[in-house]
Structure 1
Amino acid sequence: MHFSIRQADPAIWSWVQGNRKVTWPSYESVLPTSEPPLVPEDLEVLNSTVRITDESYWAEYVTQMTFSYIERWHVRVGYILIILVVLSCLIGTVQYLHLTRFYATHSTQSWRSSKTMTWFKKHLVLPALFRSSHRRPVLSSMGYLPSRLAAVFLGLFFILNIIFLATPIKSVQPNTWSSSRKLEVNNYVANRAGFISFALLPLTVLLSARNNPLIAITRMTQNTYILIHRWVARVCALQAVIHSVAWTIQWYWEKPDGSKFRSEAVMPYMRWGFAGTVALCLMVGFAAWPIRHRSYEFFIFLHIALGIVSLLGCWYHMDYRFADKYGYKNWLYVTFGIWGADRIVRSLRMLYISWPALTRKPNTLAQAELVPGQSALVKLTIPTRLALSAKPGQYAFVHFASLFKPWENHPFSVASWSVGGEDAEKGIEEDKNSQKGSIPSFTPGAPHITMIVRAHGGATGRIRDTILANRGPVVLPMLLEGPYGHPQPLDVYETQVLVAGGVGITALTGYIQSFLASPNKTKRIIVVWAAREAEFIQFMLDHKLDGLPNNVDLKIHCTGAGAEKLEGKHTIELGRPQLTSLVKTEVAALFEGERIAFFVSGSGSMSDEVRRAVVDSIGDGPGQVDGDRVNFFDEVFAW
């Protein structure tokens, strides 16, 4: 259709051409003498003045206003859910400040020792959700349960997700977008679910990031954040499924013959949305504990690949459907930013502490060797500037750059560190008798760290096979990424009970090394270690646990064969340690006003047993103490 201003009004056309002497008619003279006609029902092209009914105008007005109201609340509920998770994490900050900055000597009159705080610690802070299982997989090894306090916040998070699907929602009829209230409300619920799923995407990525700033702020462990990450991701995927199902129902309600659904299903936005939802659900399914445990490398590869597909699906779902309207893509921009920032920081950290190894010059490569008498335990000695600032409780990801799959990396605890020079290990004897045929990868005085790992499949298994094929130690380029983790505030307790199982002893040696280097408030350390390999026990006694002072009480339990061959001044007991009895004994032996901390680095069952015994020791009954006098910490890679 062609519309000519010249033909419609010569005066306006003359003014447009530059004639400013045009005489304009008065306002009254141009008013219509009668009302414009009502808009025809079959109107397709508007080329004249028409009038809509008051009812139509009002229906469109309230429809648009209701849409704006619903959209504002989409954003608000997203922020509320994110803030809830962040605030729940900040409890870790309160606990850390309580133990460090605001530390005070024990007093029965203090609020720290009150019945309220003791009850809170005994029934909410420390216990597992169902008393017995927290670090040990449950439901036929399908996964881990959160702690009781974490379960309270996660339960509130889940309940709010359900509530926010239905409220705040405002329905108005007649509605120009929905012919019935049922369709209108279902539309809002479907969109609310999709929006919540989008809002949880950046939070999900943040909680899984290695450089999550909340870890430094709250002092909570990566284990805790990974657990929260899994539950938030499950809710995120569930909301995406609700969004998809609700819209499918909507289309079948509109056209029961399925024609509406079929017409939408072939649209690009629908296909990409379906791909994103399926990928998100597969990520949750393939993150089950059995898959993570049996093939960690496969899990990581699949998790990243499905994550990329999911985010691409979300992006094109929005791009084809709404382009840049309504700000839906902003959540994806934040998600991409968090993921990219974490990857950049990880690369920078790796370059900073591993730059010499990239040059492959002499004295920069790591040395891998088997623990004497063992084919499953590998000792890694890695030259790195990380040794200059290493602390107990820290770990690093080791990238095996020359083992065919350079993207593989695993977290290992820093067992000990040396900054070079004499007595570098500050009281813990360094290994001076490596296997014969050793090829030193660094000069004796170079800063380095030591890790001891158990070889399974994947990269650690290939290292073991390489050592066996070489019939001795091998030199490999290994890149470190870290350090991650932070020391637990054990130094404010007069007695520390450090419990380890197997290679978990490597997490304890860092705390012992730090204690010997700079004595603190702690007066006594009790080390309880259970391991099945007698050769490994002998190795640690000779090289890592030798020369301990009298205030470090070492109790070793050998759960395998060969204990009678062990040598040294320390008594070796057979069988598993009685951890429940140990906790009761040490709590009962506390002097008035003293505190005790239990720290576990071992299997999930070992951690859960000590946790349960510590919880039982809190109270005002016989053999119990108030909540300020006893605490529990653990370090378990329960990812």
Structure 2
Amino acid sequence: MDLLKRAHIQEHTNTSREVYHWGYVPQILPCTKDAGSCEYLRAVYWMHDTSMLYSFILWAVIGGILLVIVTLRTLKPKPTRNFYAPITEKNETQSPANAYTRGWGAIQASLRKWLLPESFVGFFGHVSRVQLVVLAILLAYLLAFSLVGIVYKTWITPIKGSTLTNKRTGVGGFSDRVGVLAYALTPLTVALSTRESILTLITGIPYQSLNFLHRWTGRIIYIQAVLHTFGWTLIEGLYYQPQPKVYRDFIKQKYMVWGCIAMGLLSLLFFLSFQRVIKITGHEFFRKSHYILAMLYIGACWGHWAQLACWMIASLGIWGLDRGVRFLRTLLIHVGYVKGTADFGFHNAQSSVEYFDDVDGGVVRLEFTHNHEAWHVGQHFFLTFPALTIWQSHPLTVASVPAPHPALPQHTYIVRCRAGETRRLKSLALGQLTTLPSSGSTPIPSTTTPVILTGPYGTPLLPSHPNTGIEPSNLLAIAGGTGISLTLPLVLAATASKAFTSVPVDFIWIVRRAANLAWIAAELSELKKRAKDENVDLRIHVYITQESSSSSSAPASLKNVPIKTEEDITPVAKSCCSSSSIATSYTETYMESVHPSLDSIVRSFLEGRARRELRTRVVASGPAGMGRDLRGAVAGVNDAGRVWRGERAWDVELVWDDRMG
């Protein structure tokens, strides 16, 4: 019955036949209405067929872009060097880069120079220009194809048995067009939000980097839905007569009831996604309500227009696949035999929880071993703490290097205690203690808690090739605060690899207080030992931004090396302590409420430390402002001309992650 009501002003006769149109109600031919109404109906079906064509073209373009990305990843030059032979002045094993390799690097450097920096931060947030370009392309496509192929004409048609007339225009075709495109965008929006991302597998782009486009495609769908709703409200509530009878009959139809429900759910989704609202309600409420409302919205869209259910089925399929793979990952990690027993079943990891107090809220260090397949350096897991809640997981980067098989992998996490789950984790670490140690350098005795893992996620930070092994590169690792979780295992793994023999590695850590060094005291001590090895070209510099050397609260165990203050360091060393002019491989600089210049650090590394024949990688994690400065700094030093001339060091890649724990 609803389909018959939705068949516009068409009427069946004994000679009528139905012409099928994909995604719409059948067209009844021949038309028996007045000439204006028949012309309008022909325009309506033509505009609908055009809308379906444009929605398919949209996905053809998306598929073409993905195919281009896969092709470029395949065509990317493979390293030719024997990575396990050390680079020395007397034994240079790096073969000269050919024109193809130099051209590829020059193009990459040029693109980074223009697309890596941030723009319009106040409106879009901290994202690179490349994401803005992708969004602009999508917006341009949708704008063009929302307006092209619309019949811009008005028909005034009579109403049988009345002196009233109906006004028929192309508004209906336009409203349906934006509705069709909103349906077609829904699977893409869902795919951009998934953790087990098919798009990540195809493109190599981390799933968290796709969240920006997920948010904006969601907003685009909301705008399209508003236009669709407004258009049909205008038609049925004003253009068609007599009123209000026409509108009352229209809004009572089942498909319209579902349409109103879908619009209400989408409006609630849109409202709850504002950052101010998320801060008030809490991130976990946002996540759970987002899942529930999104699935209800997809179901309501199916009820509103079942002829286009294909887009909703695809969306539900992508979402279900994501949840299923997540569940399977968790089972693979936790279901099995416990070593030394015959107990088969689900087993939590048992983690020690060590708390380090400071005026910024404190930091928790988690450590545990668990029998599962090792991860790659730079990857992260989602951790659930059943002692706190089973309904929330937190993404945390592993701050340790996975042990080779058959040793059990050792997990280490450095977590800043903020609000929500991490605050409750702090309370768990404190246990029954009612007072805190007077010195922030003294950890509170650890307790234990069960942990459930899902993962690993993310791309490896030490890229390798099946034939040539790990690719060495000039490595500059920069961390702010608990961003050390990303860079620490990278530096540990690189300095332990034969591929990085005599390859410059600079490790920069920016912290507020000297006491923060206690978070990784053992690992820092190990890196200092490695820096003395003649085969390891490692420089470590710690910037302390909220203390002076005289007020330092550094633990005594960490004061066993020469400390250089701002006055003791040359201008070059101030910018980057890894300058060869500094005698020691480990230095500390007290800034006293001033942050180091990241641009100077990057340039000093390239000019004073980087090997010309190797490309350069800057790997960093920290606050969003640090990411903005680093994007600008790395973009500024990429030099296509120098790369083309064979100076590969100036092909500088930035790997940035602002999840700091």
Query: Into which bin does the TM-score normalised by the smaller protein fall?
Result: 0.7 to 0.9
Residues 179-226 of structure 1, C-alpha deviation per residue, up to 9 Å, x if partnerless? 999734111111111111111111111110111111022111223211
Distance 2:639 2:402 in 1: 43
Match of 2:552 among 554, 563, 574: 563
Match of 1:121 in 2: 111
Instruction: Assess, with a 3 A threshold, how the Cα gap between structure 1 residues 194 and 363 changes in structure 2: closer, same or farther.
Output: closer
1:348-427 to 2 correspondences below 5 Å: 348-355=328-335, 364-371=349-356, 376-386=362-372, 388-403=373-388, 405-419=389-403
Percent identical among aligned pairs is 23
- Give the conservation status (yes or no) of the 8 Å contact 2:473–2:615: yes
Distance 2:649 2:244 in 1: 63
- Give the conservation status (yes or no) of the 8 Å contact 1:529–1:557: yes
1:35-74 to 2 correspondences below 5 Å: 66-74=43-51
Match of 2:590 in 1: 574
Instruction: Assess, with a 3 A threshold, how the Cα gap between structure 1 residues 253 and 145 changes in structure 2: closer, same or farther.
Output: farther
1:140-219 to 2 correspondences below 5 Å: 144=125, 146-170=127-151, 183-219=168-204
- Give the conservation status (yes or no) of the 8 Å contact 2:348–2:451: no
Q: Which amino acid aligns with 2:400?
A: S
Match of 2:651 in 1: 629
Distance 1:255 1:242 in 2: 22
1:456, CA displacement in angstroms? 1.5
Q: Which amino acid aligns with 2:396?
A: F
Distance 1:477 1:115 in 2: 47
Match of 1:608 among 628, 640, 650: 628
Q: Indicate whether 1:314 and 2:304 are aligned.
A: no
Match of 1:487 in 2: 460
Distance 2:15 2:488 in 1: 87
1:503, CA displacement in angstroms? 0.6
1:373, CA displacement in angstroms? 6.8
- Give the conservation status (yes or no) of the 8 Å contact 1:399–1:410: yes
1:244-323 to 2 correspondences below 5 Å: 244-251=229-236, 252-255=238-241, 257-292=243-278, 295-318=282-305
Residues 216-269 of structure 1, C-alpha deviation per residue, up to 9 Å, x if partnerless? 221112232111111111111111111101101111111384443333233343
SS at match of 2:170: helix
SS at match of 2:329: helix
1:60, CA displacement in angstroms? 8.5
| RMSD, aligned CA | 4.0
- Give the conservation status (yes or no) of the 8 Å contact 1:527–1:552: yes
1:90, CA displacement in angstroms? 6.0
1:411, CA displacement in angstroms? 0.4
1:291, CA displacement in angstroms? 4.3
Distance 1:183 1:256 in 2: 14
Instruction: Assess, with a 3 A threshold, how the Cα gap between structure 1 residues 360 and 540 changes in structure 2: closer, same or farther.
Output: farther
Instruction: Assess, with a 3 A threshold, how the Cα gap between structure 1 residues 603 and 628 changes in structure 2: closer, same or farther.
Output: same
Instruction: Assess, with a 3 A threshold, how the Cα gap between structure 1 residues 414 and 262 changes in structure 2: closer, same or farther.
Output: same
Match of 2:313 in 1: 333
Match of 2:499 among 474, 499, 520: 520
Q: Indicate whether 1:588 and 2:604 are aligned.
A: no
**Which runs of 5 or more residues in structure 2 are unaligned?**
1-10, 17-28, 82-94, 434-444, 464-469, 562-585
Instruction: Assess, with a 3 A threshold, how the Cα gap between structure 1 residues 507 and 292 changes in structure 2: closer, same or farther.
Output: farther
1:170, CA displacement in angstroms? 5.0
Distance 1:514 1:533 in 2: 26
- Give the conservation status (yes or no) of the 8 Å contact 2:396–2:659: no
Moved more, 520-529 or 253-262: 253-262
1:412-491 to 2 correspondences below 5 Å: 412-419=396-403, 446-471=408-433, 472-488=445-461
Residues 243-298 of structure 1, C-alpha deviation per residue, up to 9 Å, x if partnerless? 10110111111138444333323334323212212322332332233444672212
Q: Which amino acid aligns with 1:235?
A: I
1:57, CA displacement in angstroms? 10
Moved more, 105-114 or 457-466: 105-114
Distance 2:353 2:453 in 1: 14
1:226-237 to 2 correspondences below 5 Å: 226-237=211-222
- Give the conservation status (yes or no) of the 8 Å contact 2:613–2:649: no
Q: Which amino acid aligns with 1:76?
A: L
Match of 1:36 in 2: none
1:365, CA displacement in angstroms? 2.2
Distance 1:113 1:502 in 2: 38
- Give the conservation status (yes or no) of the 8 Å contact 1:597–1:632: yes
Match of 2:638 among 618, 625, 629: 618
- Give the conservation status (yes or no) of the 8 Å contact 2:613–2:648: no
Instruction: Assess, with a 3 A threshold, how the Cα gap between structure 1 residues 458 and 559 changes in structure 2: closer, same or farther.
Output: same
SS at match of 1:548: helix
Q: Indicate whether 1:548 and 2:530 are aligned.
A: yes
- Give the conservation status (yes or no) of the 8 Å contact 1:93–1:219: no
SS at match of 1:473: strand
Match of 2:485 among 485, 502, 506: 506
SS at match of 1:637: coil
SS at match of 1:78: helix
1:401, CA displacement in angstroms? 1.9
Instruction: Assess, with a 3 A threshold, how the Cα gap between structure 1 residues 572 and 90 changes in structure 2: closer, same or farther.
Output: farther
Instruction: Assess, with a 3 A threshold, how the Cα gap between structure 1 residues 192 and 121 changes in structure 2: closer, same or farther.
Output: same
SS at match of 1:520: helix
Distance 1:598 1:78 in 2: 40
Q: Which amino acid aligns with 1:71?
A: H
SS at match of 2:335: helix
1:53, CA displacement in angstroms? 9.3
**Which runs of 5 or more residues in structure 1 are unaligned?**
1-43, 319-323, 425-444
SS at match of 1:348: helix
Distance 1:604 1:334 in 2: 35
SS at match of 2:168: helix
TM-score by length of 1: 0.76
- Give the conservation status (yes or no) of the 8 Å contact 2:187–2:312: yes
- Greater CA radius of gyration, 1 or 2? 1
Q: How many residues align?
A: 555
1:580, CA displacement in angstroms? 1.1
Instruction: Assess, with a 3 A threshold, how the Cα gap between structure 1 residues 108 and 457 changes in structure 2: closer, same or farther.
Output: same
1:45, CA displacement in angstroms? 10
Match of 1:599 in 2: 619
1:332, CA displacement in angstroms? 1.0
Distance 2:618 2:166 in 1: 59
- Give the conservation status (yes or no) of the 8 Å contact 1:378–1:455: yes
- Give the conservation status (yes or no) of the 8 Å contact 1:400–1:406: yes
Instruction: Assess, with a 3 A threshold, how the Cα gap between structure 1 residues 460 and 393 changes in structure 2: closer, same or farther.
Output: same
Distance 2:137 2:185 in 1: 15
- Give the conservation status (yes or no) of the 8 Å contact 1:173–1:180: no
Residues 161-182 of structure 1, C-alpha deviation per residue, up to 9 Å, x if partnerless? 1222222235799899999997
Match of 1:345 among 325, 332, 351: 325
1:328, CA displacement in angstroms? 0.8
Match of 2:56 among 63, 71, 79: 79
TM-score by length of 2: 0.74
Residues 56-91 of structure 1, C-alpha deviation per residue, up to 9 Å, x if partnerless? 599898767655543333232223333444554666
1:128, CA displacement in angstroms? 2.2
Distance 2:326 2:67 in 1: 24
Q: Which amino acid aligns with 2:410?
A: H
Distance 1:54 1:216 in 2: 51
- Give the conservation status (yes or no) of the 8 Å contact 1:395–1:482: yes
Moved more, 64-73 or 546-555: 64-73
Instruction: Assess, with a 3 A threshold, how the Cα gap between structure 1 residues 221 and 180 changes in structure 2: closer, same or farther.
Output: farther
- Give the conservation status (yes or no) of the 8 Å contact 1:81–1:157: no
Instruction: Assess, with a 3 A threshold, how the Cα gap between structure 1 residues 461 and 95 changes in structure 2: closer, same or farther.
Output: farther
